[in-house]
Amino acid sequence: MSDFGLEKINEYIYRIPRGYRADMIVPGFIYADEALAQRAAQEGVLEQVVNVATLPGIIRGSFAMPDIHLGYGFAVGGVAAFDVKNGIVSPGGVGFDINCGVRLLKTNLVAAEISASMRQKLMHELSRNISYGIGGHGKVRLSQLQLEEVLYRGVPWAVSHGYGLDDDIEYCEQNGRLDTAEPNKVSERAFQRGANQLGTLGSGNHFLEVQELTQILDNNAASIFGLFEGQLLVMIHSGSRGFGHQVCTDYLKVMAGATAKYGLSPIDRQLAYAPLGTDEASDYLKAMACAMNYAWVNRHMMAHFTRESFEFIFKKSAEALGMDLLYDVAHNSAKLETHQLDGETKKAVVHRKGATRAFAPNHPEIPQAYQGTGQPVFVPGDMGRASYILSGTKEAMKQTFGSTCHGAGRVLSRSRAKKQISGNELKQDLLARGIIVITSHVPSLAEEAPEAYKDVNEVVEICDGAKISKKVAKLRPLGVLKG
């Protein structure tokens, strides 16, 4: 393959050599099979991988997960780590939906034992309790002082106010809180947008799915995770809503100013950045941490309302229904982490944009219960096919700063999908396949059609083959709540 000078390392990894372009500091690494690598080259997304490889202080490589597609500045599915001494932070490397992520609730229910009419009632109750769609106001209304407390304390705030369980904190990435959050670094407009959106799903690719576990792929990890074939599970995918979007919007302007102030010249204005250690970088990281905490609380609140919905339908307590939190993972973040590089301990700010942390067994930052398996990883697919549970690996720590894919990845833009697919026909087709879909806007459902996404089975196979995460279980959708 000649485009971008791609070199095949093995069946699952391609490299863009550092010499492909004179301004590259590190090579690019593309996790893909030949077909996906060719698609990425044709779509122009590899140009974004190369551009990221030019940023100051980047370490080891500019990484692209197999679900990669065009994004703002960084590609979605991009990973890059920057040295704390001479590196940078870029909002384009995190994205507008800061801490978009996934939370997975278990149950002890057997999917096959729940009738179609009962599933209809359950989906209706979930739609009553959880706001979904563009805008969307949640049940919780907060004053600015209360919201400041949410931004600072994260999930522990929610638990202390009667939402969720104490154990939920342990089974959330970072325990549901970045302690670097400083609400005074957030604009008044962000506060306004975030005041009434806690516990809301939003629109776009966000969803709540009731799923059935159809296949165990790693018996040991599945047993430790508390999984069994036929199990009913609930996957919640959402982020920081308008609050996080506003934080990103505000700090893109700040970074544009920093570019001029420090005489910087990023190759793409969407990669505007500030050197670590400057006021601009520090302020962004503090505001971003607020949005991270907001998103964790947002998913936490939806999980609480999900438990209440199940209790109402099945007339049992959430505890009796076994509705424990398996884990909660973030997709869009820039976090200070410690990694081993060539036998040395190094601190770096790791940007993951549309990528999941996949820390290995025995890592101190994952729950004690998962020390033998590695961190749980969730990879949503699409409404019509499958999703996966994976686990983190030692190879991920060596290769990708403990990172793996976050989903299937788009192949059709939203506008193209709406032109090619009918939302009404899609909804009926899914219902005929036993998948109940509740949405706020049926025509927009086409944007999230299975045809708009890569095949998640192929994406996960690459991550598993490259050993940056390990397959544990396969799930299929039964009911979907979609914005």
Q: Which residues belong to the active site? A: 406
d(C-alpha 54, C-alpha 79), whole Å? 14
Q: Specify the 3-state DSSP secondary structure of 206.
A: coil
d(C-alpha 470, C-alpha 435), whole Å? 27
Q: Which residue has the tokens 């919780």?
A: 140
Q: How many other CB atoms are found less than 10 A from the CB of residue 204?
A: 18
d(C-alpha 399, C-alpha 460), whole Å? 17
d(C-alpha 241, C-alpha 244), whole Å? 6
Q: Which amino acid is at 363?
A: H
d(C-alpha 307, C-alpha 318), whole Å? 6
Alpha-carbon 121 to chain mean position: 29
8 Å CB contact between 159 and 169: yes
8 Å CB contact between 86 and 56: yes
d(C-alpha 246, C-alpha 316), whole Å? 40
d(C-alpha 130, C-alpha 118), whole Å? 18
Q: Specify the 3-state DSSP secondary structure of 449.
A: coil
Nearest to 153 by CA among 293, 269, 17: 293
d(C-alpha 133, C-alpha 57), whole Å? 40
> What CA–CA distances, in Å, run from 345 to 86, 151, 197, 363, 395?
16, 31, 40, 14, 17
d(C-alpha 80, C-alpha 65), whole Å? 11
8 Å CB contact between 334 and 349: yes
d(C-alpha 150, C-alpha 298), whole Å? 10
H helix or E strand, kind and range, residue 50: helix 45-52
8 Å CB contact between 98 and 333: yes
Six token digits for residue 252: 């893109």
The residues, any chain, with a CB within 8 Å of residue 188's CB and separated by 6 or more, are none
Alpha carbons within 13 A on the beta-carbon side of 471: 20
Nearest to 335 by CA among 222, 456, 150, 177: 177
Q: At what angle do helices 116-129 and 279-314 cross, to 10 degrees?
A: 140
Alpha carbons within 13 A on the beta-carbon side of 359: 21
